[in-house]
Amino acid sequence: MLQTIPDISHHPEVLDIIKRALSEDIGSGDHSSLSSIEKDRIATAKLIFKDNGIAAGLKIAHTILKLNDSACSINAIMHDGDVVKHGDIGFEVTGNAHGLLKSERLLLNIMQRLSGIATITHIAADKIKDYPTKVLDTRKTTPNLRLLEKWAVAVGGGQNHRFGLYDMIMLKDNHVDVAGGIVKALQKAKSYLVENNLNIGIEVETRSLEEVKEALTQLPFQRIMLDNFTPETTKEAVDLINKKCETEASGGITLDNIEAYAKSGVDFISLGMLTHSVKSLDISFKIKL
CA atoms within 13 A on the CB side of 175: 18
Q: Is 140 a catalytic residue?
A: yes
Q: Is 190 a catalytic residue?
A: no
Q: Catalytic residue, from 140, 190, 207, 213: name it.
A: 140
Q: Is 82 a catalytic residue?
A: no
* Terminal Cα distance for the chain, rounded: 32
Q: Catalytic residue, from 19, 20, 129, 172: name it.
A: 172
| Cα distance between residue 86 and residue 281, in whole Å | 10
Integer CA distances (angstroms), 279 to 25, 51, 54, 208, 252, in order: 23, 11, 13, 33, 19
Q: Catalytic residue, from 46, 105, 127, 190: name it.
A: 105
Q: Is 172 a catalytic residue?
A: yes
Q: Catalytic residue, from 205, 211, 214, 267: name it.
A: 205
Q: Is 211 a catalytic residue?
A: no
SS (H, E, C) the chain: CCCCCCCCCCCHHHHHHHHHHHHHHHCCCCHHHHHHCCCCCEEEEEEEECCCEECCCHHHHHHHHHHHCCCCEEEECCCCCCEECCCCEEEEEEEEHHHHHHHHHHHHHHHHHHHHHHHHHHHHHHHCCCCCCEEECCCCCCCCCHHHHHHHHHHCCCECCCCCCCCCEEECHHHHHHHCCHHHHHHHHHHHHHHCCCCCCEEEEECCHHHHHHHHCCCCCCEEEEECCCHHHHHHHHHHHCCCCEEEEECCCCCCCHHHHHCCCCCEEECCHHHHCCCCCCEEEEEEC
Q: Which residues are designated catalytic? A: 105, 140, 172, 205, 227
